[in-house]
A and B are shown apart, each in its own frame.
Chain A
Amino acid sequence: RKEVEQDPGPFNVPEGATVAFNCTYSNSASQSFFWYRQDCRKEPKLLMSVYSSGNEDGRFTAQLNRASQYISLLIRDSKLSDSATYLCVVNRGATNKLIFGTGTLLAVQP
């Protein structure tokens, strides 16, 4: 079983739609959680950190449920420019080692 699991998609949604991605992690000692975005043939870039209280950045909302070891990302009012792969990432601890999921591909259609 992979340490970080995501639905690979693709998720094909129309512009303006709301879309949600889910992710589960298996190591209960994981300390920090992130969503990274990776455009086609580009490097990953940090989208947002994920906090237990939930956090929002514009159209993006991230949630963490430590008891269920579950992380989510909600994108409201999807734009064409949101088309990318969204990587769920877990930080194991003191060495800042990041464990990446396989990514979820989002394609926003006009």
Chain B
Amino acid sequence: EAGVAQSPRYKIIEKRQSVAFWCNPISGHATLYWYQQILGQGPKLLIQFQNNGVVDDSQLPKDRFSAERLKGVDSTLKIQPAKLEDSAVYLCASSPVRRQSSYEQYFGPGTRLTVT
């Protein structure tokens, strides 16, 4: 089974520039998550989709970050304009929807963003 795919793997931009990340979840997984992981910290959820609807975006800095999952499959996360503190690894994860309340999330390899 193919895992979660993300691109690009690395990106270096200057502050105030824009950047976009792409994620393709595991086939059949209805739920997709974007996390931000700053060096030395655990991942922090930015946004969660179920199919093409937003379940939780309470920690997404909406003045500069946006995300979409138009067809309920792949997703893009955009930052516009970037700040130095956005330097981090952006992880995409997916999970199936099951009856039990919790289930494993499968992570992609991440995009390492450096803002200079």
Contacts and interface: CB of A to CB of B under 8 A. Distances in A.
A and B: bona fide binding partners = yes
Interface of A: 4, 8, 31-32, 42-46, 87, 89, 91, 93-103
State the main secondary structure of chain B at its contact with A.
Answer: loop
A97 B42 contact: no
B43 A96 contact: no
Interface residues of B, number: 21
B25 interface: no
Contact of B42 (A32, A45, A91, A101): A101
Contacts of A89: 42
21 contacts: A32-B101, A32-B102, A43-B91, A43-B107, A43-B110, A44-B91, A44-B107, A89-B42, A91-B101, A95-B48, A95-B55, A95-B56, A96-B48, A96-B102, A96-B105, A98-B45, A99-B45, A100-B42, A100-B44, A101-B42, A103-B41
Interface string B72-116: 000000000000000000010001000001111101111000000
A103 B39 CA distance: 11
Closest 4 CB pairs of A and B: A100-B42, A32-B102, A43-B107, A91-B102
Contacts, number: 51
A44 to B, nearest CB: 5
A39 to B, nearest CB: 11
B40 A97 contact: no
Interface in B46-75: 48, 55-56
Q: Which of A32, A43, A45, A93 has the most CB of B within 10 A?
A: A43
Interface core residue of A8, A31, A46 (most chain B CB under 10 Å)? A46
A42 B112 CA distance: 11
A71 B102 CA distance: 17
A87 B42 contact: yes
